[in-house]
Structure 1
Amino acid sequence: MFEQIKVFFMKIWNELIITIIVGFFIRSLKKSKELVKPTINELLNNIDYNSKNWKEEIDKVLEIKTTVERHFPEYKDYLLIQYGSSVIPDNKLPSDYDFIVLLLGYPIEGNRYMHNKGTISDESNETNKDQVDIVFRDYLSFLFAASAGMPYENSVIYNGKLVKGHQGYFQWLKNITKNILFDKDFLIRRFKEKIIAEKQEFHKCLKECEEFGHDEYYVIRAGYYYITSILQLRRIQNFEKVITQNQVIELSKVRSFYEDILDDNIRNKYEQLVENLKRNNTLDLISIDDIKEVLLYIGEEYDKNK
């Protein structure tokens, strides 16, 4: 009799322990799920593009409206444009989202230049910089750059998709730049000015990194723009007197520059740089020393020929 009672209580005790353990595990699992915030990439991938509110959902996920209100209060409206590989239907590349926000309004004196350089969203900084790229630009300055033959701006206008904002403003960009022709000498002068500005930006980011511990990502990003502009200028110098918009847009396809670099080691470093900035590889695979080495090779050659 005693043994039966003992077995009975042991059975109840074991069931109680199992219930407590399972309950604790379930509560811990629920809590961990609540703590793990979905990435921007996951949120964007789960948007229902058949929904009539999909544009508002993208704007909300990227926190565009709140970012504009917080950081750019002098601008009263904006265009949200998606561009790059994620715009191409059924593309086989990894999810790679690129957005640009063109700010509409009248900034206080001196701020238009700052916004024209491309200020980066909080949402594409730090942990999300390998998932999504969101750049903020002044609308008129962006238009002037496109009209002057800048490849990035023309590519965004030609291939980009308006997500949110007045269709008329986006169509105006397309109409003004459609079939536009550029003078080779004019474009060369603009690029030389651009390269000077990008060189200054690179050294500024480098100094801030070395002296104040700022994120290396911004040095690498600035180096990418600086190096790529030099390679683009080389191509322009071999163009005919009159340059078409299609030729300018081709300059935005930076992978085509790999073959322009004769040194295998330098070519591999630049290729790594491009693929990292396109978020196909981890940023850990490129270093500031790699950027300096590429610049030493390409920059010295540029200085000799300019």
Structure 2
Amino acid sequence: MINKIISFINEHNTAFSGWGVALFTGIISISTIIVKIIIKACKKKADNVSELMDSTKSDGIYIKSELSKALRIKETMKETFPEYKDFLLVQYGSSVNSDNNLPSDFDFIVLMLGYSKKEVKFMHNKGTTNQISDSTNITHVDVVYRDYLSFLFAASAGMPYENSVIANGKLVHGHEGYFCWLKNITKNILFDRDFLIRRFDEKIIIEKEQYVKCRKEMINFDHDVYYVIRAGYYYITSIIQREKIKAFEKVIIQKDVINLASVRNFYDSFKDPNTRDKYVNLVENLKRNNSFTTISVEDIEMILSNMDLF
């Protein structure tokens, strides 16, 4: 296009002098570069989580395709859970209502729709995803994968985490009807305290086994200490939650179990100040995705050996 314009100018020398051709050519060249930069900027993908959270909604379906692509949800499901064909992506935790100008971690849960013949129906990624973070966001994004129906059953039993996600979470990708169904089923349900305690007894056994397994893998195979500390956190916190439930009335409502998901409320549950400080350090390191230089496996063991609560 530019060459055609220059040829036109050369053919009409009486209208344009040599310096005019040079000047006009320069202007067009600069304009072309500017246009290319603008087009490139428009096509450039968002680099941080806050920008990727922008979405559209059509016919009851929330679409946040850029975020789903950045988190590699479809690829992960295809590799690990191939029998699941659809999903809900739910954002939960402090980032739902936080000021995104401040450093923040982002917690997501992928509720997988379908039926798997395998026993493994969940996965928790460490989720360090620098590609979708920048200096305004801490570089950690936590992603949990769960079977939709098993998540619903746990919520119906009164599990705090699941009920907190349902009540306070935000659907960012998927069919709105499936998420509304979770809300409608659980919001007016009455939970039986003794039944919930038995569920926690089973949960604690599983989490203890997971903690022991992670610790052995760290010692024998040099696996990341992060997984040991996280498993210890779940194990310890479930013990505290169970003790809190024992003090409840016979019939529990959703608000009661949601309060149990706010683990910072447990800081004053320890009689021993040193044990309390260790637990506070454990929670804050995990919640803020900080480095684990100030918390160790020995600290986890110390907390477990001093679980003298209330």
SS in 2 for 1:284: coil
Of 189-198 and 44-53, more deviation after overlay is shown by: 44-53
**Does the aligned pair in 1 maintain the 2:92–2:170 contact within 8 Å?**
yes
Q: Pick from 84, 89, 114 the counterpart of residue 75 of structure 1.
A: 84
Gaps of 5+ in 2: 1-45
Aligned to 2:226: 217
Counterpart amino acid of residue 156 in structure 1 = V
SS in 1 for 2:184: helix
Counterpart amino acid of residue 87 in structure 1 = V
How far apart are residue 157 of structure 1 and its match?
A: 0.4
After TM superposition, the structure 1 = structure 2 runs for residues 48-63 of structure 1, keeping only pairs within 5 Å, are 49=54, 55-63=64-72
**Does the aligned pair in 1 maintain the 2:50–2:100 contact within 8 Å?**
no
Task: Specify whether residues 106 and 131 from structure 1 end up closer, same or farther in structure 2 by C-alpha distance, changes over 3 A only.
Answer: same
How far apart are residue 201 of structure 1 and its match?
A: 0.8
> Given the two structures, how large is their TM-score scaled by the length of structure 1?
0.77
Counterpart amino acid of residue 120 in structure 1 = H
Q: Pick from 93, 112, 124 the counterpart of residue 120 of structure 1.
A: 124
Q: Over aligned residues, Cα RMSD in angstroms?
A: 2.7
Aligned to 1:248: 257
1:185 maps to 2:194: yes
Question: Separation in 1 of the partners of 2:98 and 2:292?
Answer: 27
Of 273-282 and 211-220, more deviation after overlay is shown by: 273-282
How far apart are residue 147 of structure 1 and its match?
A: 0.4
Q: Pick from 142, 148, 166 the counterpart of residue 175 of structure 2.
A: 166
Aligned to 2:148: 139
Higher helix share: 1
SS in 2 for 1:146: helix
| Corresponding residue pairs, total | 257
> Given the two structures, how large is their TM-score scaled by the length of structure 2?
0.76
How far apart are residue 283 of structure 1 and its match?
A: 2.1
**Does the aligned pair in 2 maintain the 1:67–1:121 contact within 8 Å?**
no
Q: Pick from 278, 287, 302 the counterpart of residue 269 of structure 1.
A: 278
Q: Pick from 42, 45, 49 the counterpart of residue 44 of structure 1.
A: 49
Question: Separation in 2 of the partners of 1:160 and 1:231?
Answer: 23
**Does the aligned pair in 2 maintain the 1:85–1:93 contact within 8 Å?**
no
The sequence identity of aligned pairs, in percent, is 59
**Does the aligned pair in 2 maintain the 1:151–1:249 contact within 8 Å?**
yes
Gaps of 5+ in 1: 1-40
**Does the aligned pair in 1 maintain the 2:63–2:174 contact within 8 Å?**
no
Question: Separation in 2 of the partners of 1:120 and 1:213?
Answer: 19
Question: Separation in 2 of the partners of 1:61 and 1:43?
Answer: 10
Aligned to 2:206: 197
1:149 maps to 2:158: yes
Flag the structure with larger Rg: 2
Aligned to 1:104: 113
SS in 1 for 2:293: helix
How far apart are residue 119 of structure 1 and its match?
A: 0.9
Aligned to 2:296: 287
**Does the aligned pair in 1 maintain the 2:127–2:140 contact within 8 Å?**
no
Aligned to 1:24: none
Q: Deviations over 1:248-290 (max 9, x none)?
A: 0000000000011121111111011101111253222211111
**Does the aligned pair in 2 maintain the 1:86–1:97 contact within 8 Å?**
yes
Q: Deviations over 1:196-226 (max 9, x none)?
A: 1111111111111111111111110100000
Task: Specify whether residues 287 and 195 from structure 1 end up closer, same or farther in structure 2 by C-alpha distance, changes over 3 A only.
Answer: same
